[in-house]
A and B are shown apart, each in its own frame.
Chain A
Amino acid sequence: MKKLILTAALLALTAGGAMAQTVRMGTEGAYPPYNFINDKGEVDGFERELGDEMCKRAGLTCEWVQNDWDSIIPNLQSGNYDTIIAGMSITDERDKVIDFTQNYIPPASSAYLALTADADIKGGTIAAQVGTIQAGYVAESGATLLEFATPDETVAAVRNGEADAVFADKDYLVPIAAESGGAMVLLAEEVQLGGGVGMGLRESDTEMKAKFDKAIGDMKADGTLNTMITKWFGDAAKTF
């Protein structure tokens, strides 16, 4: 009986080799409105809508996979999924280990969120998510860097006084500031980092990269991408 179950399980794991290739889309699911797990327990957000549309245009079957941010690049390389679509900015450092499609969000601002407008962002303690361009920027800015595994924890650190301010993508912080009822404010200072947000792929997957590049190019050309950006990030967001 045990053998039977084992054989059945192995068959289930290995069967269907001839089926069409499925592209597994890796995302963090904790960075609204870019990507998050909605109340139904599904991946939702700007990147879900964009990813589904890209897959449709490229004629690919896509499956969504949640993976924590801090292991998202290593797990792409070891083949747990085929793409990273998780609000990842294109930087030279990342480009050395993985490949990026052309950007689907133009280079946008990073901003500080704090309890008061006079928070000390030069010499104070700044919270940022581990392995982000914002964390790299804070480390070099002279302020004390406090890193967290998830974006939500960086904001919580400011609320409970552990950090003076949080530094992240402005588009992530805007809704939080707006809904805090005045408890948190966006600071005026903004910084331009990275070359926009793109989709990450393994360097050897050149064929898939070309397909997604074309889909993004088409969506830029016919305006659907801009409509999507405005829908999820508001009218003030930068478009192409």
Chain B
Amino acid sequence: MFAFCETPSALDGLAWLACYLTTGKHLDFYWSFVTVLTLLAVTAPVAMAFGFGGAMAARSPFLPLRILGKGYTAMVRGVPDIVFFLFFVIALDQGLEWLNHQIRCPEWTEPIRNGLEFRVCPEAKVPLGSAPQTVHQLYGFALAVVTFALVFGAFAANVIYGAIGAVPKAQLETGEAYGMSHRQVFWRVLVPQMWVYALPGLSNLWLILIKATPLLFLLGVQDIVYWARELGGSKTSAFAYPHPDWRLWYFLFLLVFYLSFTRVSEIVLGRLTARLSRGQATAAGEAMRKAGA
């Protein structure tokens, strides 16, 4: 990175550290923070959508839809995250390849499952074997995002389902008394008030989601935990910057990162709760009204 980093062995002190912290490997480490933040930025809204859809389905008057909604939350909530992650990612990957294989290679005669091997025709590989490694990494990341969204969507569905039930019935009846249709009552009375009840549960889920991001490491995505372990391990002079076991410092850094991230989230969510409570028929809303009067 810097011009004086040409011969690392001749450096010491701060110059060594400056060069060490800007190696290509460290830049990969810093990029992996972007990976984690991207995961959160994509997963949170998708999981919310899954959650909203799941909750709507679960309270639908139409029986098959209700079974689907309740089944989704019950199934995902009842399985440990890690088990679901390990199973679902492999199942999704092989499922995609199997489907692709049926479409592209109908004349292929060899078995797909051969002993322990899972082998589809080369044209049906997802992504293709000839694709650059970045495409493979993107694909792995996409699989992880889908799995995260599915798992956290089920939790969110449960929270939203409960929140919808918590809105006072009198509010809905008042809306109907004013001549609103069911649809109007749902969107204009129920949904705006539901968020106040859902927020404590959803903010809790957000914090759990942040803390669940190291599961990426388990799925083989090179995330911050992978790089912390890789960079922290002791290095012999086969490397340009040999050093003893520094994993403690790298993991300490991750600890500080996660702690500050969750702390900032808590502050933001606290403000959001205050804003949504304004004028609501809840204890928090009532306290605000009295403080203002």
Q: Which residues of A contact B (CB under 8 A)?
A: 12-14, 16-17, 19-24, 29-30, 32-33, 36-42, 45, 61, 63-68, 71, 74-75, 77-79, 82, 97, 150, 152-153, 155-156, 159, 175-176, 179, 202-204
Q: Which residue of chain A lies nearest to B31 when distances are taken between CB atoms in the complex?
A: A41
Give A22 to B230 CA distance when docked, in angstroms.
27
Give A148 to B288 CA distance when docked, in angstroms.
55
The answer, among A68, A79, A159, A179, for a CB contact under 8 Å with B125, is A79
> B233 contacts A37, CB within 8 Å?
no
Give A175 to B239 CA distance when docked, in angstroms.
12
Give A16 to B233 CA distance when docked, in angstroms.
39
Residue pairs across A and B with Cβ atoms less than 8 A apart, 27 shown, are: A13-B126, A13-B127, A13-B135, A14-B126, A20-B130, A22-B131, A24-B129, A36-B239, A39-B24, A39-B239, A40-B23, A41-B25, A42-B24, A75-B220, A77-B118, A78-B90, A78-B93, A78-B118, A79-B97, A79-B118, A79-B120, A97-B115, A152-B234, A156-B247, A175-B236, A204-B117, A204-B119
B88 surroundings in chain A (CB, below 8 A): none
Query: Distance in Å from the Cβ of B246 to the closest Cβ of chain A?
Result: 11
Question: Does B279 touch A at the CB level, under 8 Å?
Answer: no
Question: Does B241 touch A at the CB level, under 8 Å?
Answer: yes
Q: Assuming A63-B133, A74-B116, what are 4 further A-B pairs, CB within 8 angstroms?
A: A13-B135, A176-B236, A202-B117, A204-B119
> B242 contacts A79, CB within 8 Å?
no
B120 surroundings in chain A (CB, below 8 A): 79
B110 surroundings in chain A (CB, below 8 A): 204
Give A37 to B241 CA distance when docked, in angstroms.
12
Question: Does B229 touch A at the CB level, under 8 Å?
Answer: yes
Give A203 to B110 CA distance when docked, in angstroms.
13
Give A179 to B127 CA distance when docked, in angstroms.
43
> B240 contacts A41, CB within 8 Å?
no
- What number of B residues sit within 8 Å (CB to CB) of A? 48
The answer, among A22, A45, A65, for a CB contact under 8 Å with B238, is A45
Q: Residue among B100, B130, B220, B241 with the most chain A CB within 10 A?
A: B130
Q: Which residue of chain A lies nearest to B217 when distances are taken between CB atoms in the complex?
A: A68
Question: Does B203 touch A at the CB level, under 8 Å?
Answer: no
Q: Mark B227-259, 1 if CB is under 8 A from A, else 0.
A: 001100110111111100101000000000000
A77 surroundings in chain B (CB, below 8 A): 116-118
A155 surroundings in chain B (CB, below 8 A): 234
Interface residues in B110-167 (C-beta closer than 8 Å to A): 110, 114-120, 122-123, 125-133, 135-136, 139
> B240 contacts A30, CB within 8 Å?
no
> B122 contacts A150, CB within 8 Å?
no
Give A159 to B244 CA distance when docked, in angstroms.
10
Q: Residue among B8, B131, B135, B240 with the most chain A CB within 10 A?
A: B131
> B24 contacts A71, CB within 8 Å?
no
Query: Distance in Å from the Cβ of A24 to the closest Cβ of chain B?
Result: 6
> A156 contacts B25, CB within 8 Å?
no
Give A13 to B28 CA distance when docked, in angstroms.
24
> B238 contacts A175, CB within 8 Å?
yes
> A64 contacts B245, CB within 8 Å?
no
Question: Does B193 touch A at the CB level, under 8 Å?
Answer: no
> B139 contacts A40, CB within 8 Å?
no
Query: Distance in Å from the Cβ of A22 to the closest Cβ of chain B?
Result: 4
B220 surroundings in chain A (CB, below 8 A): 67-68, 71, 75
Q: Please name the 3 residue pairs, one residue from A and one from B, whose CB atoms are nearest each other, closest first.
A: A152-B233, A40-B24, A39-B23
Give A78 to B120 CA distance when docked, in angstroms.
9
The answer, among B97, B114, B133, B240, for a CB contact under 8 Å with A38, is B240
Question: Does B94 touch A at the CB level, under 8 Å?
Answer: yes
B131 surroundings in chain A (CB, below 8 A): 13, 16, 22
Give A159 to B116 CA distance when docked, in angstroms.
39
The answer, among B116, B118, B133, for a CB contact under 8 Å with A64, is B133
Q: Which residue of chain B lies nearest to A22 when distances are taken between CB atoms in the complex?
A: B130
Give A38 to B128 CA distance when docked, in angstroms.
27
> B117 contacts A203, CB within 8 Å?
yes
Give A22 to B127 CA distance when docked, in angstroms.
12
Give A159 to B246 CA distance when docked, in angstroms.
13
Query: Distance in Å from the Cβ of A88 to the closest Cβ of chain B?
Result: 16
